Amino acid sequence: MKAKVNWVEGMKFVGHSESGHQLILDGANPGEGASPMELILLAVGGCSSIDVVSILEKARQNVSACHVDLSGERAETVPRVFEKIHLNFVVTGQGLAEKQVARAVALSMEKYCSVSLMLEKAVEITHSYQIIEA
């Protein structure tokens, strides 16, 4: 996998993925794009949500929506790395089995989500879930 990041101006950069996608990164606060640390949260949220929905669909669960609320605690001093990240999955559907939702979240966090598995070597990652009946 390869990527490229080009400086535009100020603290604004454009990232280009090998697959042809691009996004704006911005170190200014607020800027024109997400900061690199915000992208870390988005990456772990996206990776794990893809897993959760995929696992639930394979288990024939009637999922109509899924989102994950993420919170990260950063160190007070430079480098301001994440020390803790919490993910709360909110899964909406009809007749969802709690056992299946719990299993999907656990499998993502413990086996499949490469982003969280990589980060957990340096960051305390916790998770929870909620089920909403549609």
3-state DSSP: the chain helix, strand, coil percent, rounded to 5? 35, 40, 25
| Dist. CA 35–CA 11, nearest whole Å | 10
pLDDT of residue 13: 98
Is the bond into 36 cis (omega within 30 degrees of 0)?
no
Average pLDDT over residues 36-45: 97
pLDDT of residue 30: 87
Check pLDDT > 90 for residue 128.
yes
pLDDT level of residue 29 (50, 70, 90 thresholds) = confident
Cβ-Cβ contacts under 8 Å for 33 (sequence gap 6 or more): 12, 13, 23, 24, 25, 26
Nearest to 113 by CA among 12, 45, 32: 45
Check pLDDT > 90 for residue 5.
yes
pLDDT of residue 80: 96
Nearest to 116 by CA among 86, 75, 95: 86
Check pLDDT > 90 for residue 33.
yes
Check pLDDT > 90 for residue 38.
yes
Average pLDDT over residues 73-92: 98
Which SS3 state, helix, strand or coil, does residue 8 take? strand
Share of the chain above pLDDT 70, in %: 100
Check pLDDT > 90 for residue 48.
yes
Average pLDDT over residues 36-46: 97
Q: Which residue has the higher pLDDT, 18 or 30?
A: 18
